[in-house]
Protein backbone atom coordinates (compact mmCIF):
# COMPACT_ATOMS: atom_id res chain seq x y z
CA UNK A 1 0.00 0.00 0.00
CA UNK A 2 1.44 3.40 -1.04
CA UNK A 3 2.37 5.78 1.73
CA UNK A 4 0.62 9.14 1.60
CA UNK A 5 2.90 12.18 1.70
CA UNK A 6 2.53 15.05 4.14
CA UNK A 7 -0.60 17.15 3.76
CA UNK A 8 0.14 20.19 1.53
CA UNK A 9 0.01 23.61 3.10
CA UNK A 10 -3.33 25.34 2.61
CA UNK A 11 -3.14 28.60 0.65
CA UNK A 12 -5.78 31.26 1.40
CA UNK A 13 -5.50 34.57 -0.46
CA UNK A 14 -6.85 38.00 0.36
CA UNK A 15 -8.40 40.03 -2.43
CA UNK A 16 -5.33 42.27 -2.56
CA UNK A 17 -2.96 39.30 -2.80
CA UNK A 18 -5.06 37.64 -5.50
CA UNK A 19 -5.10 40.84 -7.60
CA UNK A 20 -1.33 41.25 -7.22
CA UNK A 21 -0.59 37.63 -8.14
CA UNK A 22 -2.92 37.73 -11.15
CA UNK A 23 -1.19 40.89 -12.33
CA UNK A 24 2.25 39.29 -12.06
CA UNK A 25 1.06 36.18 -13.89
CA UNK A 26 -0.62 38.12 -16.69
CA UNK A 27 1.81 40.95 -17.48
CA UNK A 28 4.29 40.47 -20.29
CA UNK A 29 6.87 42.57 -18.48
CA UNK A 30 6.95 40.31 -15.43
CA UNK A 31 10.07 38.17 -15.01
CA UNK A 32 9.46 34.56 -16.06
CA UNK A 33 10.35 33.18 -12.63
CA UNK A 34 8.00 35.51 -10.77
CA UNK A 35 5.16 34.75 -13.22
CA UNK A 36 5.62 30.98 -12.69
CA UNK A 37 5.59 31.36 -8.88
CA UNK A 38 2.43 33.45 -9.09
CA UNK A 39 0.70 30.77 -11.15
CA UNK A 40 1.73 28.13 -8.58
CA UNK A 41 0.13 30.06 -5.71
CA UNK A 42 -3.02 30.87 -7.71
CA UNK A 43 -3.45 27.20 -8.68
CA UNK A 44 -2.87 26.02 -5.11
CA UNK A 45 -5.41 28.50 -3.77
CA UNK A 46 -8.02 27.69 -6.43
CA UNK A 47 -8.91 24.14 -5.39
CA UNK A 48 -6.49 23.26 -2.61
CA UNK A 49 -5.03 20.43 -4.67
CA UNK A 50 -1.94 18.49 -3.73
CA UNK A 51 1.54 19.53 -4.82
CA UNK A 52 1.57 16.67 -7.34
CA UNK A 53 -1.70 17.80 -8.91
CA UNK A 54 -0.57 21.43 -9.15
CA UNK A 55 2.79 20.35 -10.60
CA UNK A 56 1.13 18.19 -13.25
CA UNK A 57 -1.32 20.92 -14.18
CA UNK A 58 1.44 23.53 -14.63
CA UNK A 59 4.10 21.19 -16.02
CA UNK A 60 6.48 21.79 -13.11
CA UNK A 61 8.45 19.72 -10.62
CA UNK A 62 6.58 18.74 -7.45
CA UNK A 63 9.46 19.94 -5.27
CA UNK A 64 9.30 23.36 -6.89
CA UNK A 65 5.58 23.63 -6.15
CA UNK A 66 6.07 22.55 -2.52
CA UNK A 67 8.95 24.97 -1.94
CA UNK A 68 7.13 28.07 -3.21
CA UNK A 69 3.86 27.05 -1.60
CA UNK A 70 5.53 26.81 1.81
CA UNK A 71 7.50 30.02 1.35
CA UNK A 72 4.38 31.95 0.37
CA UNK A 73 2.50 30.81 3.46
CA UNK A 74 5.45 31.94 5.58
CA UNK A 75 6.11 35.42 4.14
CA UNK A 76 3.29 35.98 1.61
CA UNK A 77 3.91 37.83 -1.70
CA UNK A 78 7.25 39.37 -0.75
CA UNK A 79 8.79 35.89 -0.55
CA UNK A 80 8.10 35.31 -4.26
CA UNK A 81 10.32 38.19 -5.38
CA UNK A 82 13.89 37.56 -6.47
CA UNK A 83 16.56 38.52 -3.98
CA UNK A 84 19.21 40.93 -5.25
CA UNK A 85 22.25 39.12 -6.57
CA UNK A 86 25.78 40.19 -5.65
CA UNK A 87 27.10 40.30 -9.24
CA UNK A 88 30.71 40.28 -10.29
CA UNK A 89 33.16 41.80 -7.78
CA UNK A 90 34.67 45.20 -8.59
CA UNK A 91 37.87 45.19 -10.59
CA UNK A 92 38.93 48.75 -9.66
CA UNK A 93 39.25 50.15 -6.14
CA UNK A 94 38.29 53.58 -4.82
CA UNK A 95 41.85 54.92 -4.94
CA UNK A 96 42.10 54.12 -8.64
CA UNK A 97 38.76 55.82 -9.32
CA UNK A 98 39.99 58.86 -7.39
CA UNK A 99 43.18 58.97 -9.47
CA UNK A 100 41.14 58.70 -12.66
CA UNK A 101 38.81 61.57 -11.75
CA UNK A 102 41.66 63.77 -10.49
CA UNK A 103 43.71 63.18 -13.63
CA UNK A 104 40.70 63.95 -15.84
CA UNK A 105 39.91 67.23 -14.08
CA UNK A 106 43.37 68.56 -13.27
CA UNK A 107 45.77 67.31 -15.96
CA UNK A 108 46.10 67.07 -19.73
CA UNK A 109 48.10 64.63 -21.85
CA UNK A 110 51.43 65.75 -23.30
CA UNK A 111 50.36 65.55 -26.92
CA UNK A 112 46.71 66.70 -26.77
CA UNK A 113 44.40 69.30 -25.27
CA UNK A 114 42.18 66.76 -23.49
CA UNK A 115 42.08 63.13 -22.47
CA UNK A 116 40.47 60.36 -24.49
CA UNK A 117 39.42 57.01 -23.05
CA UNK A 118 42.34 55.38 -24.82
CA UNK A 119 45.01 57.84 -23.63
CA UNK A 120 43.67 57.83 -20.06
CA UNK A 121 43.62 54.03 -20.01
CA UNK A 122 47.27 53.94 -21.08
CA UNK A 123 48.17 56.65 -18.55
CA UNK A 124 46.67 54.81 -15.55
CA UNK A 125 47.16 51.24 -16.84
CA UNK A 126 43.46 50.37 -16.71
CA UNK A 127 41.04 49.23 -19.38
CA UNK A 128 39.42 51.65 -21.81
CA UNK A 129 35.95 50.38 -20.89
CA UNK A 130 36.64 51.14 -17.22
CA UNK A 131 37.54 54.74 -18.07
CA UNK A 132 34.35 55.04 -20.11
CA UNK A 133 32.16 53.65 -17.31
CA UNK A 134 33.64 55.94 -14.66
CA UNK A 135 33.35 59.01 -16.89
CA UNK A 136 29.69 58.22 -17.59
CA UNK A 137 28.98 57.64 -13.90
CA UNK A 138 30.45 61.03 -12.94
CA UNK A 139 29.22 62.93 -15.99
CA UNK A 140 32.71 63.69 -17.34
CA UNK A 141 33.12 64.46 -21.05
CA UNK A 142 36.62 65.86 -21.77
CA UNK A 143 35.93 66.05 -25.52
CA UNK A 144 33.03 68.50 -25.10
CA UNK A 145 33.20 72.25 -24.61
CA UNK A 146 30.35 74.68 -23.97
CA UNK A 147 30.51 78.42 -24.57
CA UNK A 148 29.58 81.16 -22.14
CA UNK A 149 30.17 84.84 -21.53
CA UNK A 150 29.42 87.18 -18.65
CA UNK A 151 27.62 90.36 -19.60
CA UNK A 152 29.48 93.53 -18.61
CA UNK A 153 26.29 95.58 -18.90
CA UNK A 154 26.21 98.10 -15.98
CA UNK A 155 22.40 97.97 -15.94
CA UNK A 156 22.18 94.21 -16.42
CA UNK A 157 19.74 93.54 -13.58
CA UNK A 158 17.47 96.44 -14.50
CA UNK A 159 17.31 95.41 -18.16
CA UNK A 160 16.65 91.77 -17.33
CA UNK A 161 13.77 92.77 -15.08
CA UNK A 162 12.43 95.11 -17.74
CA UNK A 163 12.41 92.47 -20.50
CA UNK A 164 11.19 89.60 -18.30
CA UNK A 165 8.49 91.82 -16.85
CA UNK A 166 7.40 92.66 -20.38
CA UNK A 167 7.13 88.95 -21.19
CA UNK A 168 5.24 88.07 -18.03
CA UNK A 169 2.96 91.10 -17.78
CA UNK A 170 2.70 92.95 -21.11
CA UNK A 171 0.94 96.34 -21.12
CA UNK A 172 -2.71 96.57 -22.08
CA UNK A 173 -3.54 97.63 -25.63
CA UNK A 174 -0.01 96.84 -26.73
CA UNK A 175 1.81 94.31 -28.89
CA UNK A 176 5.17 92.93 -27.69
CA UNK A 177 7.51 91.97 -30.54
CA UNK A 178 10.97 90.40 -30.25
CA UNK A 179 13.02 91.87 -33.09
CA UNK A 180 16.35 90.83 -34.56
CA UNK A 181 18.01 90.07 -37.86
CA UNK A 182 19.70 86.91 -39.10
CA UNK A 183 22.51 88.09 -41.34
CA UNK A 184 24.67 86.27 -43.86
CA UNK A 185 22.09 83.67 -44.87
CA UNK A 186 23.98 82.04 -47.72
CA UNK A 187 22.23 80.86 -50.88
CA UNK A 188 24.24 77.70 -51.49
CA UNK A 189 23.84 75.22 -54.32
CA UNK A 190 25.68 71.90 -54.56
CA UNK A 191 28.01 71.27 -57.48
CA UNK A 192 26.37 67.91 -58.23
CA UNK A 193 22.87 66.43 -57.78
CA UNK A 194 21.81 65.35 -54.30
CA UNK A 195 21.13 61.64 -53.87
CA UNK A 196 17.91 61.01 -51.92
CA UNK A 197 17.77 59.02 -48.71
CA UNK A 198 17.34 55.25 -49.06
CA UNK A 199 17.01 52.43 -46.51
CA UNK A 200 20.34 52.14 -44.65
CA UNK A 201 21.71 55.10 -46.65
CA UNK A 202 21.36 58.77 -45.64
CA UNK A 203 20.87 61.61 -48.09
CA UNK A 204 24.15 62.40 -49.84
CA UNK A 205 25.41 65.72 -51.15
CA UNK A 206 28.73 66.85 -52.58
CA UNK A 207 31.13 68.36 -50.07
CA UNK A 208 31.69 71.48 -52.19
CA UNK A 209 29.13 74.12 -53.14
CA UNK A 210 28.48 77.23 -55.22
CA UNK A 211 27.81 80.55 -53.47
CA UNK A 212 24.88 82.45 -54.97
CA UNK A 213 24.96 85.44 -52.65
CA UNK A 214 23.69 86.20 -49.16
CA UNK A 215 20.54 87.63 -47.61
CA UNK A 216 19.58 89.18 -44.29
CA UNK A 217 16.31 88.24 -42.64
CA UNK A 218 14.59 90.73 -40.34
CA UNK A 219 12.04 89.11 -38.03
CA UNK A 220 9.62 90.29 -35.33
CA UNK A 221 8.14 87.54 -33.15
CA UNK A 222 4.78 88.19 -31.47
CA UNK A 223 5.23 86.64 -28.02
CA UNK A 224 1.47 86.23 -27.57
CA UNK A 225 0.63 84.32 -30.76
CA UNK A 226 4.01 83.04 -31.98
CA UNK A 227 3.46 84.61 -35.40
CA UNK A 228 6.34 86.34 -37.15
CA UNK A 229 6.56 89.46 -39.29
CA UNK A 230 9.54 89.00 -41.58
CA UNK A 231 11.36 90.73 -44.38
CA UNK A 232 14.32 89.66 -46.54
CA UNK A 233 16.95 92.14 -47.70
CA UNK A 234 20.18 91.80 -49.62
CA UNK A 235 21.98 94.24 -47.32
CA UNK A 236 22.14 94.87 -43.60
CA UNK A 237 22.04 98.60 -42.89
CA UNK A 238 19.98 101.16 -41.02
CA UNK A 239 17.95 101.80 -44.20
CA UNK A 240 16.80 98.19 -44.30
CA UNK A 241 15.97 98.24 -40.59
CA UNK A 242 13.84 101.36 -41.02
CA UNK A 243 12.05 99.70 -43.93
CA UNK A 244 11.31 96.77 -41.65
CA UNK A 245 9.99 99.11 -38.95
CA UNK A 246 7.65 100.61 -41.54
CA UNK A 247 6.39 97.12 -42.37
CA UNK A 248 5.68 96.47 -38.70
CA UNK A 249 3.93 99.83 -38.42
CA UNK A 250 1.71 98.97 -41.39
CA UNK A 251 0.72 95.53 -40.08
CA UNK A 252 0.02 96.40 -36.44
CA UNK A 253 -3.40 98.03 -35.82
CA UNK A 254 -3.20 101.76 -35.19
CA UNK A 255 -4.84 101.55 -31.76
CA UNK A 256 -2.05 99.37 -30.32
CA UNK A 257 1.27 100.46 -28.89
CA UNK A 258 4.29 98.49 -30.09
CA UNK A 259 6.95 97.36 -27.62
CA UNK A 260 10.11 96.10 -29.34
CA UNK A 261 12.63 93.86 -27.57
CA UNK A 262 15.95 93.99 -29.42
CA UNK A 263 19.70 93.94 -28.94
CA UNK A 264 22.28 96.72 -29.06
CA UNK A 265 23.31 96.32 -32.71
CA UNK A 266 24.72 99.47 -34.28
CA UNK A 267 22.00 99.52 -36.95
CA UNK A 268 19.40 99.87 -34.21
CA UNK A 269 20.88 103.10 -32.84
CA UNK A 270 21.76 105.25 -35.84
CA UNK A 271 20.50 108.86 -35.98
CA UNK A 272 18.11 107.92 -38.81
CA UNK A 273 16.56 105.14 -36.71
CA UNK A 274 16.26 107.45 -33.70
CA UNK A 275 14.52 110.09 -35.82
CA UNK A 276 12.07 107.51 -37.16
CA UNK A 277 11.26 106.30 -33.64
CA UNK A 278 10.71 109.87 -32.44
CA UNK A 279 8.28 110.39 -35.29
CA UNK A 280 6.37 107.24 -34.27
CA UNK A 281 5.84 107.55 -30.51
CA UNK A 282 3.77 104.37 -30.21
CA UNK A 283 7.01 102.40 -30.67
CA UNK A 284 8.72 101.73 -27.31
CA UNK A 285 12.20 100.14 -27.32
CA UNK A 286 13.46 97.67 -24.70
CA UNK A 287 17.13 96.80 -25.17
CA UNK A 288 18.44 93.47 -23.89
CA UNK A 289 21.73 93.54 -21.95
CA UNK A 290 24.91 93.11 -23.97
CA UNK A 291 26.00 89.49 -24.54
CA UNK A 292 22.49 88.31 -23.60
CA UNK A 293 20.91 87.22 -26.85
CA UNK A 294 19.26 84.35 -24.94
CA UNK A 295 16.73 86.87 -23.63
CA UNK A 296 15.35 87.61 -27.10
CA UNK A 297 12.79 84.93 -27.97
CA UNK A 298 13.13 85.52 -31.70
CA UNK A 299 16.53 83.81 -31.45
CA UNK A 300 14.65 80.59 -30.75
CA UNK A 301 12.64 81.11 -33.92
CA UNK A 302 15.86 81.63 -35.88
CA UNK A 303 17.05 78.26 -34.53
CA UNK A 304 13.83 76.64 -35.82
CA UNK A 305 14.35 78.31 -39.18
CA UNK A 306 17.93 77.06 -39.44
CA UNK A 307 17.00 73.50 -38.52
CA UNK A 308 13.88 73.16 -40.66
CA UNK A 309 14.62 75.36 -43.68
CA UNK A 310 18.29 76.19 -44.12
CA UNK A 311 20.48 73.24 -43.14
CA UNK A 312 19.49 70.93 -46.01
CA UNK A 313 18.25 73.47 -48.54
CA UNK A 314 19.81 74.40 -51.88
CA UNK A 315 19.35 77.66 -53.81
CA UNK A 316 20.27 78.49 -57.38
CA UNK A 317 20.00 82.24 -56.84
CA UNK A 318 20.47 84.80 -54.11
CA UNK A 319 16.76 84.83 -53.39
CA UNK A 320 15.18 82.29 -51.05
CA UNK A 321 11.76 81.63 -52.63
CA UNK A 322 10.73 79.04 -50.05
CA UNK A 323 11.56 81.46 -47.25
CA UNK A 324 9.67 84.24 -49.01
CA UNK A 325 6.59 82.02 -49.18
CA UNK A 326 6.86 81.10 -45.50
CA UNK A 327 7.10 84.74 -44.47
CA UNK A 328 4.08 85.69 -46.57
CA UNK A 329 1.93 82.79 -45.33
CA UNK A 330 -0.50 83.37 -42.46
CA UNK A 331 -0.33 81.78 -40.00
CA UNK A 332 3.40 81.25 -40.20
CA UNK A 333 4.70 77.88 -41.40
CA UNK A 334 7.50 78.20 -38.85
CA UNK A 335 5.33 79.50 -36.06
CA UNK A 336 7.20 79.12 -32.79
CA UNK A 337 5.80 76.44 -30.52
CA UNK A 338 3.31 74.99 -32.98
CA UNK A 339 4.59 71.42 -32.59
CA UNK A 340 5.38 71.33 -28.91
CA UNK A 341 3.37 71.82 -25.76
CA UNK A 342 4.30 74.88 -23.65
CA UNK A 343 6.67 74.13 -20.82
CA UNK A 344 4.81 74.79 -17.52
CA UNK A 345 8.17 75.54 -15.86
CA UNK A 346 8.70 78.60 -18.06
CA UNK A 347 6.27 80.75 -16.09
CA UNK A 348 7.81 79.79 -12.74
CA UNK A 349 11.37 80.28 -14.01
CA UNK A 350 10.78 83.74 -15.46
CA UNK A 351 8.77 84.78 -12.42
CA UNK A 352 11.60 83.67 -10.14
CA UNK A 353 14.14 85.62 -12.21
CA UNK A 354 11.95 88.67 -11.97
Q: How far apart are CA 187 and CA 213, in angstroms?
A: 6
Indicate if 43 and 132 belong to the same structural domain: no
Q: How far apart are CA 55 and CA 61, in angstroms?
A: 6
Residue 107 sits in which domain range?
94-138
Indicate if 182 and 330 belong to the same structural domain: yes
Q: Please name which of 275, 76, 259, 96 lies closest in space to residue 169, comparing C-alpha atoms.
A: 259
Indicate if 120 and 168 belong to the same structural domain: no
pLDDT in tens, 273-288: 999 999 999 999 999 9
Mean pLDDT in residue range 50-69: 73
pLDDT-derived band at 352, boundaries 50, 70, 90 = very low
Indicate if 234 and 98 belong to the same structural domain: no
Q: How far apart are CA 330 and CA 227, in angstroms?
A: 8
The domain that holds 263 is classified in CATH as 3.30.420.10
User: Looking at the predicted structure, is the pLDDT value of residue 58 above 80?
Assistant: no
pLDDT-derived band at 318, boundaries 50, 70, 90 = low
Question: For residue 343, what pLDDT is reported?
Answer: 44
Does residue 261 fall inside a structural domain?
Answer: yes
Confirm if 93 and 134 have CB atoms less than 8 A apart.
no
Does residue 70 fall inside a structural domain?
Answer: yes
pLDDT-derived band at 73, boundaries 50, 70, 90 = low
What b/e string do you get for 206-234 counting C-beta neighbours within 10 Å, with b at 16 or more? eeeeeeeeebbbbbbbbbeebebbbbbbe
pLDDT-derived band at 2, boundaries 50, 70, 90 = very low
Give the 3-state secondary structure of residue 116.
Answer: coil
pLDDT-derived band at 77, boundaries 50, 70, 90 = low
Indicate if 175 and 125 belong to the same structural domain: no
Residue bearing the bigger pLDDT, 17 or 109: 109
Q: Please state which of the ranges 69-78, 247-256, 260-269 shows the lowest mean pLDDT.
A: 69-78
Kind of pairing between the strands at 228-233 and 257-262: unpaired
Question: In the chain, how many domains are there?
Answer: 3
Mean pLDDT in residue range 194-216: 83
Question: For residue 40, what pLDDT is reported?
Answer: 75
Does residue 147 fall inside a structural domain?
Answer: no
Indicate if 50 and 107 belong to the same structural domain: no
pLDDT-derived band at 341, boundaries 50, 70, 90 = very low
Mean pLDDT in residue range 147-168: 89
pLDDT above 90 covers a percentage of the chain that reads 32
What is the chain's mean pLDDT, rounded?
79
Question: For residue 212, what pLDDT is reported?
Answer: 73
Start-to-end CA span in the chain (Å) = 90
Indicate if 72 and 215 belong to the same structural domain: no
For residue 224, the number of C-alpha atoms closer than 13 Å in the C-beta half-sphere is 12
Distances (CA, A) of 105 to 98, 125, 137, 345: 11, 18, 15, 33
Indicate if 348 and 283 belong to the same structural domain: yes
Question: For residue 6, what pLDDT is reported?
Answer: 59
Does residue 87 fall inside a structural domain?
Answer: no
Indicate if 125 and 38 belong to the same structural domain: no
Indicate if 176 and 256 belong to the same structural domain: yes
Indicate if 321 and 246 belong to the same structural domain: yes
Mean pLDDT in residue range 219-234: 87
Q: How far apart are CA 56 and CA 49, in angstroms?
A: 11
User: Looking at the predicted structure, is the pLDDT value of residue 348 above 50?
Assistant: no
Indicate if 71 and 98 belong to the same structural domain: no
Does residue 149 fall inside a structural domain?
Answer: no
User: Looking at the predicted structure, is the pLDDT value of residue 327 above 70?
Assistant: no
- Count other Cβ atoms within 10 Å, centred on residue 334: 21
Mean pLDDT in residue range 76-99: 70
Amino acid sequence: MATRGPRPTDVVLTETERAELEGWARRRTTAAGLAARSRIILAAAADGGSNTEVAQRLGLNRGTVRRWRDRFVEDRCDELLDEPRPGRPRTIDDDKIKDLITSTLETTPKNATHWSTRSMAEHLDISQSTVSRVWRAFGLAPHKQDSWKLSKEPLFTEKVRDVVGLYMNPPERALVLCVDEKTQIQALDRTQPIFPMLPTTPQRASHDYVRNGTSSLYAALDIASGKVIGSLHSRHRAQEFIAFLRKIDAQVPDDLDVHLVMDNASTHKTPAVKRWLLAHPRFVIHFTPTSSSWMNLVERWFAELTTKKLQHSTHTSERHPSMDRDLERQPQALRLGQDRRPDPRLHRTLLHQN
